Amino acid sequence: MVKDMQGEVVVLIGGSGGIGRASAIRFAARGAHVVLVARGRSGLEAVAEEIARQGGQADVMPADMSNPEAVRQLAAEVANRHGRVDVLVYGAAVFYLAPAEGLQLDRTRQAMDINYWGAVHAVQAFLPLIRRGRRKSITFISSLSVPCTPAFFTAYAAPKHALHGFAQSLRQELRPEGIAVTLVTPGPVDTQLIEGHLHQDMYRLPLGVPVLTADQAAEGVIQAVLRRRAEWVVPRRFGLAARLSRAFPTLLDAYYRWTIPGWTQTVLRVTEPHRGRAPVGQAEDQTGSGAADPDTGAEPEPGAGPEPVRTSAPAG
């Protein structure tokens, strides 16, 4: 592996599993000193040990990204240890999937707190350190569900859409300072949370959509940082699909109907129990799927059709 990031400081938020873990290992292999951040310590320590065994360097710094004060303290600790940040990668996320009328509002707000507000907190806290860095790069791990948003993704896709808007505006603000802002937009990624949920009613894949490995998505993160692209879609061939979906929004609707047998009937079946219901809190409703990864801070994958809610702490 070429040591083309030798001595650089990479803060990777959501670094103890999935895309985050795979990205951290790749950054370290290129010579970077990786600062691993997530809410839980044990997963971070496991990744740091793996990096050390391969001859790399990593710090473990647990933090709750939904808490702006905790994020400011995190940045202060990084400043004390390293004095600067060359690359900031934000990949912390929670996933929650449900029909719009059946959304649990507390879990929907939780998704916004981690998937969007956590990124805002990170930028505000770390931007002074990035200005001192050499590479001056900010990367957000988003989702193909932004340009190609299917049914039942309201709670997950809404904060990701907000993240896209934030990143696109931030890119224009920071360009005069030589700071690159990049969005990495992967399709479905095979993590431990996807097992048993993919291909169920609320998470069907239309024809031709592959399930990526975490390593494939992580390579996209690395390339996006090195090439300083505005957006990096994984797999790359889906860049055209993303552009077409943005230009012609109903094209995605039609593609789902054409390539998933009985898709319209599936949507009607899933939404029927919720029609006309008032918004509910977590204790009142038991429909929906997906969860925060309890320890990793890596991007959890969409879950399956109606089932009891699985509870876990938000990743961060």
pLDDT tens for each residue of 257-289: 999 999 999 999 999 999 887 666 654 444 456
Q: Which residues pair with 57 in a beta bridge?
A: 33
Helix (H, G, I), strand (E, B) or coil at 10: strand
Q: What is the pTM of this model?
A: 0.88
| Given 90, 116, 156, 255, the catalytic residue | 156
Where do the domains of the chain lie? 9-274
Q: Which residues pair with 144 in a beta bridge?
A: none
| pLDDT above 80: residue 58 | yes
Is there a contact between 77 and 249 (Cβ–Cβ < 8 Å)?
A: no
Omega within 30 of 0 (cis) for the link into 249: no
pLDDT tens for each residue of 8-48: 999 999 998 999 999 999 999 999 999 999 999 999 999 99
Q: Cα(19)–Cα(10) distance, rounded to whole angstroms?
A: 15
156 catalytically annotated: yes
In this structure, what is the dihedral angle of CA atoms 271, 185, 314, 121, given to the nearest 10 degrees?
A: -120
Mean pLDDT, all residues of the chain: 87
Is there a contact between 91 and 119 (Cβ–Cβ < 8 Å)?
A: no
In this structure, the strands spanning 180-186 and 189-190 are unpaired
Residue of 141, 162, 157 lying closest to 203 (CA atoms): 157
| pLDDT above 50: residue 304 | no
Domain 9-274: which CATH number of 3.30.200.20, 3.40.50.720, 3.30.465.10, 3.40.120.10: 3.40.50.720
Cα–chain center distance at 206: 21
Mean pLDDT of 62-87: 98
> Residue 265: what pLDDT?
94
Q: Cα(82)–Cα(75) distance, rounded to whole angstroms?
A: 10
